[in-house]
């Protein structure tokens, strides 16, 4: 007689069911923390799969995104059916005025610059008399060149260091 071992994780109910049951059974008004939910599931269902913690986090995040549970002050709780729906971030859009019946809306214009028409004739460029871009540097003639770099006759920058004059010393 062969006794087959059955994986206990296959006998567990789906995580969303276990999470909802844990939140209901704890019955706290401010919800249940992730660790409290995990401890409840472990105590109720016994041995859990090896990846229990990431699986629990994943399912809690999915349930939070879908609105099955509400996350408030680091606790998960069932959403209040009488609570108003949560507003998105940012300023709400302005209310649109109703259009009269029979009005046909044109599709919105696409964004960006419209593409060039390949069949259009090339447009004639209107020259303004001056070429585009930065003008070319015109080399000066030697008559115009100022030898010292400015019109005052001074050199630019720090003056060169003066060398002390050495007097000739004769050796007798």
pLDDT of 1: 47
Close Cβ partners of 42 (under 8 Å, ≥ 6 residues apart): 48, 52
Give Cα 151 distance to the centre of its chain: 56
- Quick: pLDDT tens for 137-165: 888 765 555 555 556 677 788 888 888 87
Q: What is the pTM of this model?
A: 0.45
In the chain, the percentage of residues whose pLDDT exceeds 90 is 1
Q: What is the pLDDT of residue 6?
A: 46
Distances in whole angstroms, Cα of residue 83 to Cα of each of 46, 60, 67, 94, 104: 36, 21, 12, 23, 38
* pLDDT of 56 above 50: yes
More confident residue, 43 or 145: 43
Q: Report the b/e string of 135-165 with b at 16+ CB within 10 A.
A: eeeeeeeeeeeeeeeeeeeeeeeeeeeeeee
Residue 80, helix vs strand vs coil? coil
pLDDT at 170 over 80: no
Query: Percent of the chain at pLDDT above 70?
Result: 79
């Amino acid at each position: 007689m062969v006794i087959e071992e059955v994986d206990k994780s296959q006998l567990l109910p789906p995580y969303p069911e276990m999470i909802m049951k844990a939140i209901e059974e704890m019955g706290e008004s401010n919800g249940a923390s992730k660790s409290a939910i995990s401890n409840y599931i472990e105590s109720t269902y016994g041995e859990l799969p090896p990846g229990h913690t990431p699986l629990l986090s994943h399912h809690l995040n999915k349930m939070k995104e879908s609105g099955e549970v509400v996350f408030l002050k680091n606790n998960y709780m069932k959403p209040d059916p009488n609570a108003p729906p949560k507003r998105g971030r940012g300023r709400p859009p302005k209310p649109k005025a109703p259009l009269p019946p029979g009005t046909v809306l044109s599709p919105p214009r696409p964004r960006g610059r419209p593409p060039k028409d390949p069949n259009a004739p090339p447009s004639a460029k209107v020259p303004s008399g001056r070429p585009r871009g930065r003008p070319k540097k015109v080399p000066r003639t030697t008559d115009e060149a100022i030898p010292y770099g400015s019109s005052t006759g001074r050199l630019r920058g720090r003056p060169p260091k003066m060398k002390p004059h050495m007097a000739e010393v004769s050796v007798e």
